Structure 1
Amino acid sequence: MIVVVGITVGILDVCELGSHFILMSITIACGMLSEAYARGPPAPNASTHHSERQIPFAACDIAQLLIALCWGITGDIAEIVSRARIAQLWAATGVAVAYMSIARWLGNVIIFDRKKSRFVANAVYGLAFVPYATSWCALIARFALAINGAEASVPDWIIAIVIGMFFGFTGTFPIIHALSINRVIDVDAAEVAYAIAGVANKSLLGWYMWYGVNRMQTA
């Protein structure tokens, strides 16, 4: 189900048959509904201690999430090298599947875990990933500009990296296109920023989920 919905959302996204935010919202909603449907309500006699410490997340779910994240990241990089629709579809589908997987886990935490403070702590701890991601996203930007034959100045590099990282971690990718159309940033810088945004977003999600799952299960 997750893969089918992800592919469908990816196709709609590439064909521009809906707002990116609306499609991602639908994806996340489907993920949470699938988790709630699969798990069902907690048993009436279930103890609070049990509900707080037992957060089931199977190895197959982790594998699915990692595959989806790699799927989306390779799609983002392929989109830099080639503007073909197949590359865009590969990237959009991968991120849709990843969001579905993440939503299932979040649905489990939000619906069944009564100790929300741990979830907030994980989110704060996830900010430690930002410096690491920035360093290798800069390398990806250098590779992307070299492939496209662009001769960007240092300010263009800074703009592309900063904008890409910011909109990547906030998930507001379409704003980069708006900035490019209104000539707020250079077209080449916008393309690189968009690629950085995709890679940074999915990398942060992957690291955060991996840490969060391990912390929830060992708490």
Structure 2
Amino acid sequence: MTAEAAVRSRPLPRIPVGGLAVFLAAVVFLAGAIHICTILLVPSFARADGWSRLAAFAGADEFTQIPVRDPARANAAGLDPLFVNAACRLRLGAAPVGIAVEARERFWSLALYDRKGTIIFSLNDRTAIDGQLDMLVVSPAQNAALRLSPPANLEQTVVVESRADDLIAVLRLFAPTPSAQEKARPILAESECLPAPLEGAAPSGR
């Protein structure tokens, strides 16, 4: 018998049926786990991407209008063209931030976003007094100091405590027509988003 004939007549190795089934089951399980993880991670990536797009427009110590359509930069997700939108960056590491809005006879809303893209607080004109908002955003340490020595007008202020030191405030004014948008822009310009140091309080850290 030649060497070639011997190779041809040699029986092929057999893979145990049980081992093959275990291998296929492991492959299917791994593929399913990867698929599920991908689905679960998509919302997190989407929220984080929303934060980065908002941060590109958020002003420092002021509300900066967010264009609904801007060919030069990526638009912030979820903006309604019937609203005029503005964003302000809040950094609570050094001091609380005061937010003031006055927009009577017009629907408006304000939301605070953390770095995960999660809304930690929101309100609108229905919960404000006569369309006016006086808000103070504080860290836990700043809130404790505020309670020890509250200012005289604190009862009229909405105090929001945040564990995150880095936030973005998004202010939205309902403006369905071009003329309404022109009237809404001065309201955004006059709205305040400024550091409001507490008297005698030291800067808070993380």
TM-score (norm 2): 0.29
Q: Give the structure with the higher percent helix.
A: 1
* Structure having the larger proportion of residues in strand: 2
Using the size of structure 1 for normalisation, the TM-score is: 0.28
- Structure of larger gyration radius: 2
